[in-house]
Amino acid sequence: MKVAVLGASDDPARYAYLAVQRLRAHHHAVIGVNPRLPDLGDVPVVASLRELPDDVHTLTIYLAPHNSEPLAGDLEKVQLERVIFNPGSESSVLAERFEARGVKVVEACTLVLLASGRFEAD
């Protein structure tokens, strides 16, 4: 499954960094999304949601709503099956827009979903 991490980080102390590492350990193809991150080792990084390929299944969000909500227009153009709002990233504005398009919205921690074997099931 291809997963995009909105707010990907190269800082090992950040949950977004851990999510990238653990998604890869669970054999998911990962793409980071961060305009200020030119490189994430061997994980591809795009500067904008508009640059995501069409085959991304899940978007896991690690941005606070005040940072993600301005991206609503770009988020509307991304074809996804599921969006995960990690703790602190929850946005009713974005959730409603995704649900209206038939995208499954999950409020959960990606790290917990992976550790509990529920990432693929949710």
Which CATH number goes with the domain that contains 48? 3.40.50.720
Nearest-CA neighbor of 100 among 71, 62, 72?
72
pLDDT at res. 90: 98
**35 falls within a domain:** yes
Instruction: Give the structural domain span for 76.
Output: 2-115
Q: How many domains are there within the chain?
A: 1
Residue 122 lies in a domain: no
Could you tell me the CA-to-CA distances from 21 to 17, 18, 30, 107 in Å, in that order?
6, 5, 9, 20
Residue 122 pLDDT exceeds 90 = no
Q: What is the per-residue pLDDT across 23-81, written as a single tens digit (0 to 9) for each?
A: 999 999 999 999 999 889 999 999 999 999 999 999 999 999 999 999 999 988 899 99
40, 14 in Cβ contact below 8 A? Answer: no
Provide the pLDDT for residue 23.
98
In a domain, 68, yes or no: yes
pTM score, whole prediction = 0.95
Residue 38's pLDDT is what? 85
Assess if residue 9 is contained within a domain.
yes
- Is residue 120 domain-resident? no
